[in-house]
Amino acid sequence: MANITRANGTLTLVGDWKEEDIALFQPVLNSWSFYGQYGIQYCGNLSEQNKSASFFGCGRWGFSGTLESFHEWTIDWIKTQGPLTEQEYQDFLKNMHKKDLKIEMSYEEDGDEFFVEETGFFVSDGEELIYHTSTSAPIEMPWEDYGKECFDAAVEFFRSFTVDADDLKLKKWVKQWIRPSHCFLDYEPGEDVYEFLENNSFMMEDAFFYDEILFDALKQNIKLKEDERLEEMYRFMEETYGIDYTLELPEDFDRSELAENESDEEFIRWYEQLEEKMKAK
């Protein structure tokens, strides 16, 4: 089953849009709700005086990819559903191309474990509607938004690789270096971590040691278990992502960015606040 993403943003008519141009666009826009699930489920009113409107939409895996499919899906919608006709759509595309009109889409999107802020735009070549992405950047969500249960699950996941890890040091490292994710909740403390990774290989890139510098920050203060499967994991990551875990950083390497920027007292206060939020729910 495809992951359904949710997008909230603003649709803006770029160029010299007149009322007659908007009238050609409106039935096309109405058809973009498509199959009651993907597409633009709601869009505010547009006019020559008000060329921007808020919208809500749903994507299939990602809203950007869905927008790229709008032309193909619109053609299919005309053939199977209506009331938009092929002639109405052709008139809209030709008019958009002739007047060099654009439709800008600026939105924030959230899906399963990702949050994105993106801007793109539609253009027409006279026969086809084409979507281009201008900017796209992930929105970082802090551990506070995921909660204590999720944070503790991440700590236990990484504890599986260590030998008698100092609890406070490990927790501080997870807070500073690990990308928050709900995927850690799937790991049961005591479970064979390597078997877990085999069944959840996406975590290797998404939430695991995908950065040799980050990995070095862990090795500095916390002893890792000696396990041949750890070496196998290194080889897999090196072959798949080009990460060199055997890299010996030079002695004069600037480790300031690896430093623990938070005192123990500050971290403890932060962690207590996570506990209080959990109890308040």
Which whole-number Å values give the CA distances from 127 to 93, 97, 143, 258, in the listed order? 6, 9, 47, 54
Q: Tens digit of pLDDT for each residue in 99-112?
A: 999 999 999 887 65
In this structure, the number of other CB atoms found within 10 A of the CB of residue 114 comes to: 15
Q: Is the dihedral angle over the CA atoms 22, 25, 26, 32 positive or is it negative?
A: negative
Q: 70: burial class by Cβ within 10 Å (0-12, 13-18, 19+)?
A: buried
Q: What is the mean pLDDT of residues 125-141?
A: 86
* Overall size of the chain counted in residues: 281
E strand spans, the chain: 4-14, 39-43, 52-60, 102-111, 114-124, 129-138
Percent of the chain with pLDDT over 90: 36
Q: What is the mean pLDDT of residues 179-186?
A: 79
Q: Please count the CA atoms within 13 angstroms of the CA of 100 that sit on its side-chain side.
A: 1
Give the pTM: 0.56
* Most confidently modeled range among 43-47, 217-221, 250-254: 43-47
Q: What is the mean pLDDT of residues 33-45?
A: 82
3-state SS, residue 60: strand
Distance from C-alpha of 146 to C-alpha of 13, rounded to nearest angstrom: 37
* Most confidently modeled range among 8-12, 30-34, 237-241, 273-277: 8-12
In this structure, are residues 29 and 23 in contact, taking their beta carbons and an 8 Å threshold? no
The per-residue pLDDT for 81 is 85
Beta bridge partners of 60: 4, 62
The per-residue pLDDT for 48 is 94
Stretch among 25-34, 38-47, 133-142, 266-275 having the lowest mean pLDDT: 133-142
Helical packing angle, 19-31 and 86-98, nearest 10°: 130
The per-residue pLDDT for 1 is 38
In this structure, the number of other CB atoms found within 10 A of the CB of residue 222 comes to: 18
The per-residue pLDDT for 29 is 94
* Most confidently modeled range among 17-26, 63-72, 172-181, 190-199: 17-26
The per-residue pLDDT for 25 is 97
Answer yes or no: is pLDDT of 153 > 50.
yes
Distance from C-alpha of 182 to C-alpha of 186, rounded to nearest angstrom: 8
Q: What is the mean pLDDT of residues 78-95?
A: 93
Q: CB under 8 Å to 214, separation ≥6 — which residues? A: 177
